[in-house]
Structure formats: structure tokens, C-alpha cells
Amino acid sequence: MWHDYSMTTPFFIDIWSDVVCPFCYLGTRQLSEALALFEHRDQVVTRPHAFELDPHAPINYDVSLPELLAQKYGMSVEHARAANERLEAQARTLGMTWSLANARPTNTFDAHRLIALATSQDLGEPMVQRLFLAYFSQGLLLSDREVLNGLASEVGVAGAEGLWNDDRFAVDVRSDELRAQELGVSGVPSMLIDNRVMVVGAQGTEKILEGLERAWQRRAN
């Protein structure tokens, strides 16, 4: 009996990202726009995966985000602010309002554990998007467990408070990061489309759509 694989198998998009990465937020919004134009969007299933930009980041910094960027990249604070303003302008073209002057850089390991919990309840993607909004627009500290509990409740994720009693989902986060290493992922967002095409970075709606269509054509062939 003839079986149409392309019609019955989910079209997975595996996305490695960090919730304090501006290009990840831009890239996932561009992906949403691309999916709206993708003929086979009803078969798409997105799967978030953890990638920490800085696994050794502290919980609290004593400098602002522009000051931190200036230190990290050897630029002036004014240059860092200007770069953030350009990112904010790019976000506005995608319907988002960011406030990077108020963003609070931090360690994101617990946020990724929360995403893993949400994913186990089929709420991974909305959890990721809520965390993006919290960091980029609302100035919330994403290592604050009370903040994470509140955001989980908004999304409808159950059991967040219990995460902090042990190390549940820590293995999931580390497994995601190991898989990223195995795939050679060194920058995010990295979108592995149908296990066939990798799109790295916030390349724009058109480029991401091209990746979606190329991956679909490869499964059809």
C-alpha cells in the first residue's frame, strides 16, 4: 500500500536558543511570520532546546546591560547603547516593543529548566515566548524563581514551584546543550528544520521561509 510520508509525519523544527539572546527573539518572530506563509504549516511542530549564551553567568550583575556589553566586546558604553537601539528598531518592525535599557542580564539555567517542564506539558513554545517578553520588554529577572513561578502560572504550566526543590529537568537542559555541540551549533538561534536544513541566526522571514520550503522539498523527494 502506498504511504505518503510527507502527509502523515510531523514537520519538526528544533530550535536552540537562549531567552536573553536578542537574535533568538527576533529569529523566532521571523519564524512565526515565515510559518504564516508556509503552505504546510498545519504539520509543523516546534521543539525548543536549551542553549546558554554564558553557562557561567552570575545571578546578578552590578552593571547595566550596555555596560556589560561594552566590557565584553571592548566597545564604549555609548556604542553598546546605539547597538541596542538598532536592535529595538528591528524589533519594532516585527511588532515588538523592547526596553533593553531595563533588561537585567542573568544566568538562564533555571529558565531553561522551566522551559523543559513546560515542554513536557506541550507548552514549551508559549513558555519561551513569555520569557522573551519578560526579559526584553518588562525588565524582569529571569533567575528569580518567584518571577519564574509567576510566568509559568500565566502560561498555564503546572508544578513550577516544585522545580526548585531538586534538580529536575537539569539533565534535559544539559542533554540539549550536548546535542547542540554534537551538531556543531555555536550560535543561536539555530533552527534544524525537519532534521534536514539548518538555519542559523535571525536571517529574516524570507530566508527562513526558503529553509522551510527546501526542507519540505527534500522530504518529498
Q: Of 88, 103, 118, which marks where a domain is finished?
A: 103
Question: Is the bond leading into 55 cis (omega within 30 degrees of zero)?
Answer: no
Indicate whether 34 and 140 sit together in one domain: yes
Query: What tens digit of pLDDT does each residue of 3-42 get?
Result: 454 556 899 999 999 999 999 999 999 999 999 999 999 9
pTM of this structure: 0.95
Catalogue the long-range contacts made by 141-147 (C-beta closer than 8 Å, 24 or more residues apart).
Answer: 141/60, 141/104, 141/106, 142/19, 142/20, 142/104, 142/106, 142/108, 142/110, 142/111, 143/59, 143/60, 143/106, 143/107, 143/108, 143/110, 143/111, 145/110
The tally of domains found in the chain comes to 2
Indicate whether 114 and 179 sit together in one domain: yes
Q: Are 146 and 114 in contact (CB under 8 A)?
A: no
Q: Domain containing 73: what range?
A: 62-103
Residue 18 identity: D
Torsions phi, psi for 131 (to 5 deg): -70, -40
The pLDDT assigned to 78 comes to 97
Indicate whether 74 and 175 sit together in one domain: no
pLDDT above 70: percentage of residues in the chain: 96
Q: Could you give the CA distance from residue 177 to residue 171 in angstroms, rounded to a whole number?
A: 10
Residue 96 vs residues 91, 93, 124: alpha-carbon distances, Å: 5, 7, 20
Indicate whether 112 and 213 sit together in one domain: yes
Could you tell me the CATH number of the domain that includes residue 55? 3.40.30.10
Indicate whether 95 and 110 sit together in one domain: no
Indicate whether 116 and 164 sit together in one domain: yes
Query: What tens digit of pLDDT does each residue of 85-119 get?
Result: 999 999 999 999 999 999 999 999 999 999 999 99
Indicate whether 129 and 183 sit together in one domain: yes
Indicate whether 90 and 141 sit together in one domain: no
